[in-house]
Amino acid sequence: MLPRRLDASLLADLWFFHAVAEAGGFRRAATVLAITPGAVSQRMQRLEARLGLVLMQRGPRGFVLTQAGLQLYAVTQQGFSALGDGLTALHNQAASVQLVAPPSLALGWLLPRLGRFARLNPDIRVDLQAETVAPPPSSDPARLLLCYLPQPPQDDVPHWPEYGFPVLAPAALQAGLALPLLHDDSPWGVPASPGSEWARWLAVHGRPACCSRDERHFNQAQLAYRSAEAGAGVALGRWRLVATALQAGSLCRVDDYPPLLLGFYALYGGAGNPAAATLASWLGEELAADAAGF
């Protein structure tokens, strides 16, 4: 008599039966299931005993499914296929959040961390957009906007300070050459004059001794940093963006002046959407942890 209800043991035995019927042999099924052929045989004997049916006729050349075995195989094939389709559908329905962040931050800081967020929150998919934009209000509750601003935002928008200092390649520092300043001309998500980020440092500490009067300009901070690593000049490194290069030794600090406040990362959105709120909370923790890194 067939059981009236399924339990974990019976479901497992049915899965083993399906694998044996699918593979066409105990040994091939054992290889697929990563167990011994003897264990597979014991499972099949237990299943037949529980169902009170002969599912396989064994012989010197293997086995053939009985009529009951053929019927059960059709049922398990349909059932496990439907279960697999259902799990795929659930996965595809994972919550999606769009995160817009400045390109240099997205490439140099966010991407190495998003894998950890995915492991902690496998049911949330993050679509990352690298773009430097101003902070307009968003009507999409599943959209987060991370902006880099020269001043702290108004109202209760969460924000975190960013500090910086001049950096260059260690070999260039040892060579004692006069190097140009390397500028990111679009540092913030609001209009700014060329060289405005460096202007903050120069107003407080003046031009580094190793710098010439020459200047080179880029539209992304990462381009300035890569040029500095190549020995082409001195960049004003934001802590979160150059920390890895400093640890790896491809960049070093020019002097011992304390880091200077250069701007603020502000996070807009996240209200009214659980997935976006989860990502916003995690981002806040990551940004706050790095703020104390220097």
H or E element: which one contains 181? strand 179-184
Pick the CATH number of 95-294 from 2.60.40.10, 3.40.190.290, 3.30.43.10, 3.50.40.10: 3.40.190.290
3-state secondary structure of 55: coil
CA nearest neighbour of 224 among 266, 184, 167, 281: 184
Q: Is the pLDDT of residue 4 over 60?
A: no
Where are the chain's structural domains? 8-92, 95-294
Please state the rounded mean pLDDT for residues 285-289: 92
* Percentage of residues in the chain having pLDDT higher than 90: 51
The answer to whether the beta carbons of residues 145 and 231 sit under 8 Å apart is: no
Give 93's contacts (C-beta < 8 A, 6+ positions apart).
none
Tokens read off for 78? 């349909």
DSSP for residue 94 = -
Mean pLDDT for all residues in the chain: 87
DSSP secondary structure, 112-151, as one string: HHHHHHHHH-TTEEEEEEE--------S-TTEEEEEEESS
Q: Is the pLDDT of residue 168 over 50?
A: yes
Please state the rounded mean pLDDT for residues 161-190: 92
Hey, do 8-92 and 95-294 end up sharing a CATH topology, with the first three levels equal? no
CATH class of 8-92: mainly alpha
The answer to whether the beta carbons of residues 124 and 178 sit under 8 Å apart is: no
Alpha helices, H only, the chain: 8-23, 26-33, 37-51, 67-92, 103-105, 111-120, 170-175, 196-205, 221-229, 239-248, 274-291
Record the pTM: 0.67
Query: What CA–CA distance (Å, rounded) separates 280 from 52?
Result: 56
Query: What CA–CA distance (Å, rounded) separates 95 from 88?
Result: 14
Torsion of CA 114, 117, 119, 125, to 10 degrees: -80
Q: Which residue has the tokens 């929150």?
A: 121
Q: Is the pLDDT of residue 258 over 60?
A: yes
Please state the rounded mean pLDDT for residues 243-257: 94
